[in-house]
Amino acid sequence: MEEDKKPEENNEPKVEEKQAEVINNGNDNNGMAVASLILGIISILFNFIGYSLIGLILGIVGIILAVNAKKKNPTSMASAGLVLSIIGTALCGVVFVACIACVGMIGLGASLA
Amino acid sequence: MLPYINIFGRQIATYGFIIVLGIILGTMIAVFYFSKFNKVKKDDVFYSILYGVVGVVIGAKLLYLLTNIPLLLKSENILNTLLQMLSGGFVFYGGLIGGILGIFIYSKQFKIEFKSLILTIVPVIPLVHAIGRIGCLCAGCCYGMEYHGFGAIIFHNSIFAPNEIPLFPTQIVECICNLLIFAILTITYKKFIGTYKTVGLYCILYSIVRFILEFFRGDLIRGIYLGLSTSQWISISLLIFGIIIFIKKEKSYEN
């Protein structure tokens, strides 16, 4: 009987460790999901107030965080973060992305003149 | 031609709008069509494209900055010029390299086969690029040299191209060539399934098209080294790379 009990006692801390790991990972992923959600919202806001470059950078970071969160633990928060970050990046990208010799070059030419 | 369009009362740059539409269309085709032929989940294709797009933005911008270092050094206010450069200007080749790197990072991070991801995404690159060239036509950038023959286009109120001068339609020609490359890659896709030959074929076809079209370009503000532009030097490297991949013997997927 004693021999039977020993393995159970040995297993208990392992189960707890695993649970703690899952909880920790869940918290990390939840943190990433929340961060991506916030970054996505800020990215959209920055687009509307005219700071598309900052919005684009925040949107990109939001996308990377959301993808990481979704791959490890696909929650609705991570999905929302991903969608908002994509929208923010796309909106800022529309304003910011320009082909070579486009908008930036005019400003550059003006600054050099 | 049509640099800005009004959507819900907001003035939006046509180039950016069209390129975003192109990316959405390309992503849908890669996720719903080309993923069927490779051992890869639709989710992974979608996420890797997101990583790829991030890589494209960073890569295109970095190469643009590198080609404009002389301009940057000449300017009196370097910080101001750098900020101006950061707010506009992309180089396609820089974007291509950055995009591939982005997908590579995704495959390493989540332990997904790089080959199946790249083989799913590569065929749609020329389609997205073709749509992007329509954006160039609308914005009036990437214009051709002065030309009086068939199909010459005249810009009347472009802020980039010289107005009222007939120009070679480089944007339209590159758009058609990219659509043809997309068609060729799609038709030959099943034949080369599971091998990098599709990538090789794309590299060969696009580098040839780009190398020739660069001679007809009128926007000569890009870097020129030994009589050839930066893009032409990269085209030569890409052509050699493409030929090596294409002729290399390679096993397909087992199933």
How far apart are alpha carbons B171 and B177 in whole angstroms? 10
Residues B164 and B27 sit within 8 Å (Cβ to Cβ): no
Full domain range(s) for residue B41: 4-179
User: Does the residue B184 lie in any domain?
Assistant: no
User: Does the residue B254 lie in any domain?
Assistant: no
How close, in Å, is residue B238 to chain A by CA atoms?
A: 20
Q: Is A6 on the interface with B (CB under 8 A)?
A: no
Q: Is A49 on the interface with B (CB under 8 A)?
A: no
Structure ipTM over 0.85, yes or no: no
Residue at token pair 């590299």: B203
Report residue A24's pLDDT band, with 50, 70 and 90 as the boundaries: low
List all residues 6 or more positions away from B7 whose beta carbon is below 8 Å from its beta carbon.
Answer: B17
How close, in Å, is residue B158 to chain A by CA atoms?
A: 11
User: Does the residue B25 lie in any domain?
Assistant: yes
B19: its two tokens: 């390129």
CA angle, residues B109, B115, B121, in degrees to nearest 5: 90
User: Does the residue B216 lie in any domain?
Assistant: no
Handedness of CA A13, A14, A15, A21 (dihedral sign): positive
Secondary structure class of B58 (helix, strand, coil): helix
Q: Is the pLDDT of residue A106 over 50?
A: no
Domain count within chain B = 1
Residue of B nearest to A59 (CA): B54
Domain count within chain A = 1
User: Does the residue B168 lie in any domain?
Assistant: yes
Top residue of A97, A106, A111, A112 to mutate, by most chain B CBs within 10 Å, is A97
Q: Is the pLDDT of residue A80 over 90?
A: yes
Size of interface A-B (CB pairs under 8 A): 111
What is the mean pLDDT of the segment spanning A18-34?
Answer: 67
What is the mean pLDDT of the segment spanning B57-77?
Answer: 78
Percentage of residues of chain A with pLDDT beyond 90: 29
Lowest mean pLDDT among B61-70, B101-110, B230-239: B61-70
Q: Is the pLDDT of residue B90 over 50?
A: yes
A7: its two tokens: 């393995």
How close, in Å, is residue B91 to chain A by CA atoms?
A: 6
How far apart are alpha carbons B161 and B171 in whole angstroms? 12
Q: For position B221, what pLDDT does the model report?
A: 59
How far apart are alpha carbons A60 and A67 in whole angstroms? 11
Full domain range(s) for residue A64: 2-112
Q: For position A27, what pLDDT does the model report?
A: 63
Q: Is the pLDDT of residue B252 over 90?
A: no
User: Does the residue B52 lie in any domain?
Assistant: yes
Q: Is the pLDDT of residue A102 over 50?
A: no
Percentage of residues of chain B with pLDDT beyond 90: 28
B46 burial level (CB within 10 Å; 0-12, 13-18, 19+):
middle
Interface touch B87/A64, C-beta < 8 Å? no
What is the mean pLDDT of the segment spanning A49-70?
Answer: 88
User: Does the residue B215 lie in any domain?
Assistant: no
List residues bridging with B163 in a β-sheet.
none
